[in-house]
Amino acid sequence: MPDTTPNPPFEPTAPGGLVHTYLAYDPKHFPSPLAPPPNLAGAAFEHMLAFGSMSEFTDEQIANAIHLDPSMFSRMGPSLDSLMAMLRERRAKILATHETEAAKKQARSQVREQKSQIEPPREHKDEFRRAADREQIRDLERLWDKQKDEQSEFSLGILNLMERLGEQYQIDALASKYDFTGRTPMDVPKALEIKEELETIDRLLDQLKTAAQNAQLAVIDMEALSEFAQDGEMENLNALQQQVQDYLREEAARQGLEQSSRGYSLSPQAYRLFQRKLLAEIFSELEAARSGRHRGPIAGEGPVELQRTKPYEFGDPVAGLDIVQSIANAASRATDLVGAETKSVPENQGLETNAGTLAPKTTDFSKQRSVARSISVTIDDLEIHRTRNSPRCATAVLLDMSGSMRQGAQYVNCKRMALALDGLIRTEYPGDFLAFFEMYTLAKRRPVNELPALMPKPVTIFQSQVRLRADLSNPDVSELRLPQHFTNIQHALRLARQTLAVQDTPNRQVILITDGLPTAHFEGPHLYMLYPPDPQTEEATMREAMLCAREGITINIFLLPNWNQSHEDVQFAQRLAETTRGRVFFTGGKDLDRFVLWDYVSQRRKIIG
C-alpha cells in the first residue's frame, strides 16, 4: 500500500560535502587585468642616475624601490595579519609578566661597586672622580685615551666601568620605553635579553606593516621572524615571498631589465619606457591647459603636404599634384560643356509630326558619348596641395660633471633632463639632431646610452688656490693623471661648435648646463686649471662663445644654484648670453627638466611660426 503520509516541509540545512576554496582568487580584492604594472624600469633608472651603475641593483632593492598592490597576491593579507597579531600577543605577554625595578637597582649597584674598585693614579685622581660622579661615558673615554698603557689596572678598570654604565643606560631606556605591569623581577642579563627581544618585535611589526601596504616582503627579516613564528606560518610566508620575487623578475624582464651575474643591465626597451614616463610627468601640467604642444602649421613652400589645395600656378612643384581633384575638375568642366551644347538646341528641333503625334526625331548623340568617354585635362584643371615648412633643429647639450655638481645631487637632475630631451626629440621631432657632451676638466661627446652612468668627478685637490698647467702634446702626459673635477666650458663649446657646423640647418643651438664659472681652458696644446676662477679662463671661454655666435649657434645657459655660488657666477652667465645674443635661465635643479624642455618646445614654436 503506498505511503500517503505528506512530505514534511523543506527546511534549509548546512551544505554538505566538500566546500572548495580557491585561494588564488579573491572576488572582492582581485586586481584588474588593466591595472598598470609596477614601474621597475623607472626604479632602475633612478638608481642608475644616482649611483652611475647597475652592478649593485639587487632583487631586494627592486622590491624596495617600487610599490605593489598586496591584493595581487593571494593570502598575503591574512598571513601578515596573523603574524602581526602573534607578535603583539608575545609583546603583551612579556610586559604583563616582568618588572624592571629590580634590574635597575642591580645595575646601579654594579656601577657603584665598579667605581669603588678603581684606584686612579695621582695625576688623574680628580679627573676620574668628576667623570665617575657625572656617570658620563664620554668623559671616561677621554680619560682612557690619556693613558699610555692600555693594559694597566686603571685602564682596564675604566673599560669595565664604561661597560657597567652602558648596561645601566640600556635598562633605564627599557623602563622608560615600555610599560611593564608584571611582578616577575629580572636581573641585568635578563633585562638586556628582554630589551633585545622587544626591540626585535617592534622592528618586525614595522616591517610587516610596510609589507602589508605595498607587498615589500623583501624588507622582512625572515631569520628574526622565524624565532617567533611557527613552522607552518614561515613556510607560507616564504612561499609568498618567492611568489613576489618571481613576479618582479618576470616584470623586470618584460620592461627591459636584463639580469646577469654582475647585476641588472638596461636594454633599449627600458630606455624608451623610462623616457615615455618621464615626458608624461614633465608635460602633465600642460595637458590641462591646451590640447597640443604646437601652434598651427604655416602655409608656404615646404616638404609637408596639407589637406587643403589651390589652383596650379606656374613654378609650383608637380610633386604636390592632387591627381584625384584635378581629374574631378576636368570631368566637371566636360559635363558643363555638354550641358551647354544641349541647351543651345531649339525647343521643337528634336521632334517631328507623324500621323498627328509627336515623336522624337532621330539625332546623332555620338559627339556627346565621345565627350563622356574621354576627358581632357587642361592646366586650368590642375590642383596642387598646399605645403608648410618643417624646420630642422640641431642641438648640443653640455652637461657639467665637475666636482661641484655633486652638491645637492645636481648631476641627477642634469641626466634626467638629458634623457627626457632625447625622448622628446625621438618622439616629436625625429628629424632633429641632438648630441650630448660631458664637461669636466676636458670635454667628451657621449652617446645617449652612456648618460645614466655619468657621475661627477671626484675632487682630488683641496688647496684654496690651484695654478696648474699640462702640455697635452707630451705623450707622457696622460688624461687619467689629470685632476678631473675642474670645469672646461671652452673645450665643450669648441666640440659643440665643430659638431653643429656640419649640420645642414640654420637652426643650431647649445644648451649649457652648469653651476658656476669656468676653471679650466686650453691655449694651444696647454691645458690650464686655475682656481679660484681666473679672468684668463673667462676670456678664453668668451672667445670660443663668439666663434659659436659667428656661425649662427645660439647659446642657452641654464645656471644651477650652488652652495658657494657668488654674484660673479651670475654676472659671467649674463655677459656670455649678452655677448653671443643668447639666453640665460636661472632655475632650481629639481625643475631643470621642465625648464629645458619647455624652452626647447617654445623655441620650436618660434621657428615654425
Q: What is the CATH number of the domain that holds 453?
A: 3.40.50.410
In a shared domain, residues 476 and 439: yes
In a shared domain, residues 211 and 169: no
Q: What is the mean pLDDT of residues 58-66?
A: 60
Max mean pLDDT range (83-92, 301-310, 412-421) = 83-92
In a shared domain, residues 378 and 401: no
Distance (Å, rounded) from C-alpha 143 to C-alpha 158? 8
* Position 423 in a domain: yes
Asked which of 266, 281, 311 is the last residue of a domain, the reply is 266
- In total, the chain counts a number of residues equal to 609
Q: What pLDDT digit, counting tens, does each position of 440-460 carry?
A: 999 999 998 888 889 999 999
Q: What is the mean pLDDT of residues 78-92?
A: 83
For all residues of the chain together, what is the average pLDDT? 76
In a shared domain, residues 304 and 384: yes
Strand-by-strand arrangement of the 526-531 sheet = 466-471, 526-531, 520-523
The three-state secondary structure class of 335 is: helix
**Maximum C-alpha span of the chain:** 162
In a shared domain, residues 419 and 503: yes
Of 89-98, 466-475, 524-533, 564-573, the poorest mean pLDDT is in: 564-573
Q: What pLDDT digit, counting tens, does each position of 183-217 carry?
A: 999 999 999 999 999 999 998 888 888 777 766 66
In a shared domain, residues 54 and 138: no
Distance (Å, rounded) from C-alpha 337 to C-alpha 254? 66
In a shared domain, residues 445 and 497: yes
In a shared domain, residues 454 and 570: yes
Distance (Å, rounded) from C-alpha 364 to C-alpha 113? 140
In a shared domain, residues 85 and 106: no
Q: What percent of the chain has pLDDT over 90?
A: 26
Under the banding of pLDDT at 50, 70 and 90, the label for residue 297 is: very low
In a shared domain, residues 383 and 235: no
* Position 83 in a domain: yes
Q: What pLDDT digit, counting tens, does each position of 74-83 carry?
A: 555 557 788 8
* Full domain range(s) for residue 549: 393-608
* Position 532 in a domain: yes
Asked which of 129, 144, 179 is the last residue of a domain, the reply is 179
Distance (Å, rounded) from C-alpha 557 to C-alpha 439? 14
DSSP code for 69: -
Under the banding of pLDDT at 50, 70 and 90, the label for residue 344 is: low
| Residue 165 C-alpha from the chain's centroid | 48
In a shared domain, residues 451 and 433: yes
* Position 188 in a domain: no
* Position 364 in a domain: no
In a shared domain, residues 409 and 521: yes
Would you state the pLDDT for residue 226? 78
Q: pTM of this prediction?
A: 0.54
Would you state the pLDDT for residue 548? 93
Q: How many domains does the chain have?
A: 4
Would you state the pLDDT for residue 492? 96
Distance (Å, rounded) from C-alpha 539 to C-alpha 532? 15
* Position 355 in a domain: no
In this structure, what C-alpha cell is assigned to residue 378? 587642361
Long-range CB contacts (within 8 A, 24+) of 52-60 = 52/452, 52/453, 52/454, 52/455, 53/263, 53/453, 54/263, 54/264, 54/265, 54/266, 55/262, 55/263, 56/263, 57/263, 57/264, 58/263, 59/218, 59/245, 59/248, 59/249, 60/218
Q: What pLDDT digit, counting tens, does each position of 4-29 carry?
A: 555 555 444 444 443 333 333 344 44
Q: What pLDDT digit, counting tens, does each position of 583-597 carry?
A: 887 766 566 655 655
In 361-441, which residue ranges form alpha helices assigned H by DSSP? 366-373, 410-428
* Position 120 in a domain: yes
Distance (Å, rounded) from C-alpha 539 to C-alpha 79? 69
* Position 490 in a domain: yes
Asked which of 266, 285, 319 is the last residue of a domain, the reply is 266
